Amino acid sequence: MTFALDAKSAEKDATLAQASALLVKKFDDKARAVALLVESAHPRTEEILRLIQDGELYYRKDDDRLFNIKVAETGAQAVNLLDASAVTIEKTRDFKKVTLNNLMRGQISLALAEIGLKSEDPARREAAVRTLLGELSDDSVAVLRKRIGAEPVSAVRDLIQVALALNDLKNGDEAARLQAVERVEGSLEPPVRTALTRVAEADESPVVKQKAQLALNGIDEQIRWYGMVETLYFGISLGSVLVLAGIGLAITFGVMGVINMAHGELIMLGAYTTYVVQQLMPNHLGASILVAIPAAFMVSALVGVAIERGVIRFLYGRPLETLLATFGISLILQQAVRSVFSPLNRSVSTPEWMSGMVEINPVLSLTLSRLYIILFCLLVFVALVMVLKRTPLGLQVRAVSQNRAMARAMGVRSKWVDAMTFGLGSGVAGVAGVALSQLTNVGPNLGQAYIIDSFMVVVFGGVGNLWGTLVAGLSLGVANKVLEPWAGAVLAKILVLVFIILFIQKRPRGLFPQRGRAAEG
């Protein structure tokens, strides 16, 4: 793709001459050059205007060639717009930015919006209208009036009508302002609320003021409702993290009665496994997360089996010794990670397909990363339920949990079941670490932040009950997010902890009591 922007090539093309005119010093001349460039409708006009708007268009002083420079510093790359070749900046003073003033900024914004309105993509046309919505002027209103009759998509057309109504609210007579209030009623666009607030406070007509206030009250009610939806979404996403962190502990604690204080470090190992996989697949970040899930499961599961076979199997029936032993193991694992990876936190990149937001409306946007965490939590939960309900291992796990002596009498190798159960719970903890690596930095102390929450979820839901863990985790997550706005993050956690303590006083076995050996113990 070539587009000669230097003065020599400009002799062959009037459009290129207009682009070269941007190098003049007077802003009035630059503004005329921008206008001519827009009128030319050259395929790269939008690109040039965006470079100017973003402050990334420079010219080289010795030959007036234009360059795209992201960062103007020695050693950075400058891309020649003539042939897309890149040169290394040796001296920053060799290049000068194509500057603009506020008048030109408005001119360029209007030009870009007008170009966007002609796009075949409805999303681009809608974005262009939203740009003009906050910068209404006589020129932008004229552009919108010209476009509304030709707009085929009703959502974009309605947005244009909102923009025109805002103009009438500001400049129309009383009848026009009343009609404008009716047209914007129920709209959640931020400029609409701002305009209605101004009218409700300062309009000269009492009728218009009253109608604007009623419309404003309706919009505020919608905003409050969507705020509750957003809080619920954040709460469910936090609850999903708690479920992932606690569900592995529910298996080991419920079946084996082991208070595993190293559970948080097994989560940490899963997060570090994700980091290592990304380092091994630097050019495939999207796929690396998918590879990290089974890898983290295997790493944490193997470590879990080693812990059970090496330490815990000698301490069954001695909960205090088990607690102290697993606490010591947690310190060993933390120090091992510090020795291998250093004490510094490691950052795990979020894949492109997990980035961004889903915009439901102007006041409600859902982050994709949280949405994927929720879906991932449900998938892990379903997979775990299927393993415990549909596989021979699951059958033996349930048999041992309900009556260990009878299961052994029926030929079940309880020691093997204990090892596999602990490995399964540890592997699920590693999978939780994959999810947490997308939400926070990976460090040696990562697990310590979730071990207490994990025990809270397990005890509140009912020891060893997966459905109880799911309900408890989601409930505590939502409760935290509901309390945070008025109590603060720390006090919200304290209130939730107090509630659990009081709840356990009434129902010591939790929401969904486990049956069998765990309940008897």
Cα separation, 276 vs 270, in Å, equals 10
Residue ranges of alpha helices (H) inside 41-117 are 45-53, 102-117
Please check whether residue 367 is in contact with residue 480, taking contact to mean a CB–CB distance below 8 angstroms: no
Residue 244's nearest CA partner among 271, 215, 221 is 271
**pLDDT at residue 220 tops 70:** yes
pLDDT of residue 521: 45
**pLDDT at residue 236 tops 90:** yes
**pLDDT at residue 6 tops 70:** no
Please check whether residue 355 is in contact with residue 368, taking contact to mean a CB–CB distance below 8 angstroms: yes
Please check whether residue 8 is in contact with residue 64, taking contact to mean a CB–CB distance below 8 angstroms: no
pLDDT of residue 217: 92
Q: How confident is the model at residue 332 (pLDDT cuts 50, 70, 90)?
A: very high
Please check whether residue 97 is in contact with residue 72, taking contact to mean a CB–CB distance below 8 angstroms: yes
Tell me the residue type at 423.
G
**pLDDT at residue 402 tops 80:** no
Cα separation, 395 vs 255, in Å, equals 12
pLDDT of residue 515: 55
Tell me if residue 96 falls in helix, strand or coil.
strand
Q: How confident is the model at residue 254 (pLDDT cuts 50, 70, 90)?
A: low
Burial of 73 (0-12, 13-18, 19+ CB in 10 A): exposed
Cα separation, 469 vs 360, in Å, equals 30
Please check whether residue 195 is in contact with residue 184, taking contact to mean a CB–CB distance below 8 angstroms: yes
Give the 3-state secondary structure percentages of the chain, helix then strand then coil, rounded to 5: 70, 5, 25
**pLDDT at residue 129 tops 80:** yes
- Which tokens in the block code for residue 7? 């003065």
For the ranges 124-133, 185-194, 211-220, 505-514, the lowest mean pLDDT is seen at: 505-514
Beta-bridge mates of residue 365: 359
Q: How confident is the model at residue 21 (pLDDT cuts 50, 70, 90)?
A: low
Between the alpha carbon of residue 105 and those of residues 111, 119, 213, 335, the distances in Å are 10, 21, 34, 55
What would the pLDDT profile of 49-64 be if each residue is shown by its tens digit?
A: 888 888 888 888 887 7
Q: What is the mean pLDDT of residues 148-154?
A: 86
Cα of 100 vs its chain's centroid, Å: 35
For the ranges 155-159, 363-367, 507-511, the lowest mean pLDDT is seen at: 507-511
pLDDT of residue 248: 84
Return the residue matching tokens 């709840």: 503
Please check whether residue 457 is in contact with residue 243, taking contact to mean a CB–CB distance below 8 angstroms: yes
φ and ψ at residue 69, rounded to 5 degrees:
-125, 115
**pLDDT at residue 451 tops 70:** yes
pLDDT of residue 20: 61
Q: How confident is the model at residue 32 (pLDDT cuts 50, 70, 90)?
A: confident
What would the pLDDT profile of 68-109 be if each residue is shown by its tens digit?
A: 888 888 888 888 877 778 888 888 888 888 888 888 888 888
- Which tokens in the block code for residue 271? 């997060």
pLDDT of residue 277: 93
For the ranges 173-182, 202-211, 410-419, the lowest mean pLDDT is seen at: 410-419
Q: What is the DSSP string of 441-496?
A: -B-TTTTHHHHHHHHHHHHHH-TT-HHHHHHHHHHHHHHHHHHHHHH-HHHHHHHH
Q: Count Cα atoms within 13 angstroms, Cβ side, for 392.
A: 3
| pTM (predicted TM-score) | 0.77
Q: How confident is the model at residue 10 (pLDDT cuts 50, 70, 90)?
A: very low
